[in-house]
């Protein structure tokens, strides 16, 4: 682990929520933190200056997508992601294992790695743990992820156990392939929804030794109660000295519940994807701006929100923009939803600091 990579500043006395700081070569992240998803090297509809104004401290980009286009060498030759994106702040890259599954491009998987077809043009490519690390090192992110296999739900015990053995093999090879001292490498806990396999996964990753630990393989079609049963079982067993990252889980309610369990980092496409379909997060719940009842509504989108959209525009105007398919609608909606998420994280951090997080309603 890079020296002083993660520090826990305070832990709630009545829950497992904790307040910390995560140090990277491109800056400090206040935790618990939410990372907007810039899958292909941008957060849709947002300029980097918008994100800075909102208070975003770290972005997530995806190695699979950037490997296919524009290419990791293209990025490396232009000084890495931070320089290319004009984003002089931390970046985390996912290794791409989940995308191979979710985009239905998988051709073959074995202990060596995966062969998949590009979702862009059908061309064939091979990813091994070594290749995933090579790509992420070329991209130059501050935090990178080991290569793992993510199974869809449901998956029987035998298949999940076999997959876990492969993921642990890949994790060790990822660690051996990683050479950049100023770049943190996180391991990913898999094991499906079998408590014993989750524990085998964590034990194996701890033996290998990583700079942080992520919980993967959730929100892949399982009932919500199974998601949190898994988190309640495995998160307390991740050593407190390491950052804990929950991958791809991101409704406001899920974030609050996960913070209470001791999670430090989150990412999810939900706020930006919902913004593009007119679903907006407010202090009174989700609002569907395309609904006809907002056509003459002169109220702000959320009277309790201080974002640019809420300070300047009415629901009626925002609905008009959305129905007219004006690009400004997508920009304002995205700005608002990200502001909501970032404000939620700031409120959670403050509640941990003053030890008032237990029993409070946050969203």
State which CATH number among 3.30.420.40, 3.30.70.3040, 3.20.20.105, 3.40.50.620 fits the domain covering 6-267: 3.20.20.105
Give the model's pLDDT for residue 95: 92
Contact 231, 264 (CB under 8 A): no
Tens-digit pLDDT profile for residues 67-98: 999 999 999 999 999 999 999 999 999 998 78
Contact 61, 81 (CB under 8 A): yes
Residue 59 has pLDDT above 80, yes or no: yes
| Mean pLDDT (whole number) for 218-233 | 96
Instruction: Indicate if 267 belongs to the active site.
Output: yes
Instruction: Indicate if 94 belongs to the active site.
Output: yes
Q: What is the pTM of this model?
A: 0.97
Going by pLDDT thresholds of 50, 70 and 90, the confidence category of residue 226 is: very high
Residue 1 has pLDDT above 60, yes or no: no
Q: What proportion of the chain, given as a percentage, has pLDDT over 90?
A: 91
Tens-digit pLDDT profile for residues 234-251: 999 999 999 999 999 989
Please state which of the ranges 5-14, 97-106, 330-339 shows the lowest mean pLDDT. 97-106
Contact 22, 45 (CB under 8 A): no
Set 148, 211, 264, 267: catalytic member: 267
- The sign of the torsion formed by the CA atoms of 159, 165, 167, 173 equals negative
| Mean pLDDT (whole number) for 39-60 | 97
Going by pLDDT thresholds of 50, 70 and 90, the confidence category of residue 361 is: confident
Give the model's pLDDT for residue 82: 97
Give the model's pLDDT for residue 2: 61
Please state which of the ranges 28-32, 42-46, 120-124, 297-301 shows the lowest mean pLDDT. 120-124
| Mean pLDDT (whole number) for 164-173 | 98
Residue 308 has pLDDT above 90, yes or no: yes
What stretch(es) of the chain map to CATH 3.20.20.105?
Answer: 6-267
Residues with Cβ within 8 Å of residue 342, at least 6 apart in sequence:
34, 54, 55, 56
Going by pLDDT thresholds of 50, 70 and 90, the confidence category of residue 100 is: confident
Set 50, 94, 196, 355: catalytic member: 94
């Amino acid at each position: 682990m890079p020296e002083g990579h993660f520090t826990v500043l305070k832990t709630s006395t009545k829950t497992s929520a904790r307040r910390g700081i995560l140090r990277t070569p491109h800056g400090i992240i206040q935790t618990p933190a939410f990372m907007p998803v810039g899958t292909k090297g941008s957060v849709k509809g947002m300029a980097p200056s918008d994100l800075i104004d909102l208070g975003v401290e770290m972005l997530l980009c995806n190695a699979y997508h950037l490997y296919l286009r524009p290419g990791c060498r293209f990025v490396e030759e232009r000084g890495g992601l931070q320089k290319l994106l004009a984003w002089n702040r931390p970046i985390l890259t996912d290794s791409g294992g989940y995308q191979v599954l979710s985009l239905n491009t998988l051709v073959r998987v074995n202990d060596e790695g995966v062969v998949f077809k590009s979702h862009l043009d059908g061309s064939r490519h091979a990813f091994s743990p070594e290749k995933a690390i090579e790509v992420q090192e070329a991209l130059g992110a501050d935090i990178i992820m080991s290569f793992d296999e993510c199974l869809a739900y449901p998956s029987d015990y035998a298949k999940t156990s076999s997959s876990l053995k492969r993921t642990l093999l890949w994790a060790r090879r990822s660690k051996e392939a990683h050479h950049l001292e100023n770049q943190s490498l996180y391991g990913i806990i898999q094991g499906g929804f079998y408590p014993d396999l989750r524990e085998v996964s964590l034990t194996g990753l701890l033996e290998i030794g990583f700079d942080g630990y992520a919980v993967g393989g959730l929100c892949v079609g399982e009932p919500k109660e199974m998601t949190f049963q898994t988190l309640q079982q495995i998160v307390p067993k991740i050593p407190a000295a390491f950052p804990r990252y929950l991958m791809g889980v991101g409704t406001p309610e899920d974030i609050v519940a996960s913070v209470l369990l001791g999670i430090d980092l989150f990412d999810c496409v939900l706020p930006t994807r919902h913004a593009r379909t007119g679903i907006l997060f407010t202090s009174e719940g989700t609002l569907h701006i395309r609904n006809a009842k907002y056509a003459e509504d002169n109220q702000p989108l959320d009277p309790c929100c201080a974002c640019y959209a809420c300070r300047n525009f009415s629901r009626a105007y925002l609905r008009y923009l959305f129905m007219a398919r004006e690009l400004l609608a997508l920009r304002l909606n995205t700005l608002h939803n990200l502001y909501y998420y970032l404000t939620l994280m700031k409120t959670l951090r403050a509640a941990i600091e003053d030890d008032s997080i237990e029993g409070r309603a946050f969203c």
